Amino acid sequence: MKNKLQIVWSSIAIISVCACSTPYTQPDAPIKEVPFTQVHLDDNFWSPRIETNRTVSIPSAFKECEKNGRFDNFAIAGGLMKGEHRGDFSFDDTDPYKIIEGASYSLAVKYDGKLDHYLDSVIHIIAAAQEPDGYLTTCVTNQCTRLSGWWGTRRWEKINSHELYNSGHLYEAAVAHYRATGKRTLLDVAIKNADLVCQVFGPGEGQIHRPSGHPIAEMALVKLYKVTGDEKYLQTAKYFVEETGRGTDGHKLSEYSQDHKPILQQDEIVGHAVRAGYLYSGVADVAALTHDTAYFNALTRIWENMAGKKLFITGGIGSRPQGEGFGPNYELNNHTAYCETCASIANVYWNHRMFLATGDAKYADVLERALYNGVISGVSLSGDKFFYDNPLESMGQHERQHWFGCACCPGNITRFMASVPYYMYATQGNDVYVNLFIQSKADIETESNKINVEQTTGYPWDGKISIAVTPEKEQEFALRVRIPGWAQDAPVPTDLYSFTDKAQAYSISVNGSKVNAKQYDGYATLVRNWKAGDVVEINLPMEVRRVKANDQVEDDRGKLAIERGPIMFCLEGQDQADSTVFNKFIPDGTPMEASYDAGLLNGVMVLSGTAKEIDRNGKVKDVPFKAIPYSTWNNRGADQMAVWIPEAAEYARPTPEATIASKARTLMIQAPIQKDAPESASVETWAWGVNDQWEPKRSSDISKPYHYWWLKNGTVETLAYEFDQPYTVSNVQVYWLDFDHYDG
């Protein structure tokens, strides 16, 4: 077999040599996560964001649920009120579940009596909606025929009904709430529903034989198994994994849902990006608990395809708005990049699980890249506005929103931000892994010791890190410190991206004495007899680096990205003298100065230097430029933005002379999806690509802005041009996009 994966079970390396599954019986993965409640952050980067999540994001998301009928749907299902089911999707139930999960994580770290009481009240409404046998999906219980296209006419009729997706998020919320409060109110609801799911789905006679549809039940059932110890939850999660791609019940196999072939036969990541990240996270959970190396070999093949051909430099995944998913290998267009916020979060989940199974730092490298760039770009610094998609280029048509009709991302952000410390450390036996660098104090329990680990650092702006190690008892063990790929000439652990220069050497010292620690799987491994007072100092030089994409990435040819440490930078219009970014190019080797601006965007590192600007007549002049962290763009209003900057004039785009069309404000007049629903009233939104003077290369070119109507086919739609004054228009032409959607 070409792709082998070493799985570390304690100190033993087991390599699969057969194509069939090889089950083991040990109950847990070899490397154990450190609970985020044992890690206490005290930094200027993550701590304010997590506090904003607690005080702003979570309350505002709950208010949106109240406003948009999410809780009303449960109340109607439970007979607590009368009314019509609201919302446009069968999975709207998951919005409260995700926010409850985030609120529970927040409660576990910082108790808030008011929030605790609020959770009790909404859990009461959710519990009331559960049917006697445990079933819980409100649009089905409420017999919302308007949404029958999703769920059909009866329970479990359609694979894309999202009933199991709803259940999965219920389980995750319930486990989080139980662990945070000790209350079983939501856990009992989840267990009752899970018992029903285990009864209904499976390989047995009379059961439904199909996978979960939209994955998350796999991960969630594993969490429920770990809390309850009930083996049937793990077995049902395993069943959903094994049933994927088999079509036992005769349903149409689909790349969109990664259901096109059995997972053991997959080697390319395709379809809906969030579903992929959730599915492969669930597969990793099941494989770790059953010690199934065949599944890990499959996951490795799929991961290598993702990291080597389909990963954006921001850590985002999913290149296409249509299908919210992956395109062909190396299709990484910047302006039309989708990079859904939920997909970046799913990418973190998957990479963390791959690290736990292998102890390989390459997974933590991708995790960190997504964490500092693709994930947190999804939420405003104010905490109350969100991106659904996160492009790497914008002409000013993108802006964060308070909420969405399909509101999966805001809730996902609330639960993820509250749990960031979870990804910092791990243990294996008596050894400790350090994956992330954040000023903090952690109380870590190993196999036979308790260790206080205190980090002092200005990361991600400063690469100097001090780690004080204080074990309860003096003991020999290994402290495994990740040396990031960006500090070793590898932006990502594949040939998809590379730096244009060589990195300065990093250094490590223990108690003031420099050491040459050997690296194993990307970790500087410090083995010694540790005692109170020991201090490790790491210096990761943070130069400004230029990144080049693999030449097969067409949209990045002739362009370079700018990186410093784990942070990707971008040009935003208002930071440039002419408020324009696309007419600029920055040759490789251009000096750049990094300086911290405490008054800008809550305090950020800013890069500045001299760029070159080309006008429509081909004249080039030197102009100053400023770059900000990509994650902070669009916090000062809609604007032009670019991550990949041309390095030569031929790749820059001079500002064309204005035309009548380009002077107009273009609008899409969108009719309500749901009749008479206040949250679905007619809206006017920016129509992309219809007057930007950006000509596509061909009718199938999706690298440039284009307009389409999501979920519409054969309907009459309206585009409007709003002019500042009367004009005479003599001719109108339409350039039609020739493009096939996913099969989902």
Query: Catalytic residue numbers?
Result: 324, 408
Tokens 């080697």 sit on residue: 267
Strands 475-482 and 431-434: parallel
Q: Can you spell out the DSSP letters for 97-135?
A: HHHHHHHHHHHHHS--HHHHHHHHHHHHHHHHHS-TTS-
Give the DSSP H/E element, type plus range, for residue 640: strand 640-642
Which residue from 199, 212, 271 is spatially nearest to 242, judged by alpha carbons?
212
For 243-250, which contacts have Cβ atoms below 8 Å and span 24 or more sequence positions?
Answer: 243/203, 243/209, 243/210, 243/211, 244/211, 244/279, 245/211, 248/209, 248/210, 249/208, 249/209, 249/210
For residue 300, give the amino acid letter.
Answer: T
How far, in Å, CA of 609 to CA of 45, rounded? Answer: 25
Backbone angles phi, psi at 72, to 5 degrees: -60, -35
Give which of 490, 525, 540, 532 is closest to 511, Cα–Cα: 532
Cis peptide before 460 (omega within 30 of 0): yes
Q: Report CA Rg, the chain.
A: 26
Lookup: tokens for 339: 């990079």
Q: Let me know if 116 is exposed, middle or buried by CB neighbors in 10 A (0-12, 13-18, 19+).
A: middle
Structure tokens at 743: 């099969």
Question: What is the number of residues in the chain?
Answer: 744
Going from the C-alpha of 86 to that of each of 157, 410, 677, 710, the distances in angstroms are 21, 19, 7, 20
Amino acid residing at 241: V
List strand residue ranges (DSSP E) for 187-298, in order: none
Q: With contact defined as beta carbons under 8 Å apart, do 557 and 394 qualify?
A: no
| Residue 496, CA distances (Å) to 338, 551, 690 in order | 19, 9, 32
Closest CA to 711 of 147, 69, 331, 335: 147
What is the β-pairing status of strands 567-572 and 620-629? Answer: antiparallel
Cα separation of the two ends of the chain: 32
CA–CA distances in Å: residue 117 to residues 61, 124, 644:
17, 11, 47
- The pair of three-digit structure tokens given for residue 587, joined into one six-digit string: 């040759």
Kindly write down the DSSP assignment for every residue of 331-389, as one continuous string. ---STT----HHHHHHHHHHHHHHHHHH--HHHHHHHHHIIIIIIGGGB-TTSS-B-SS
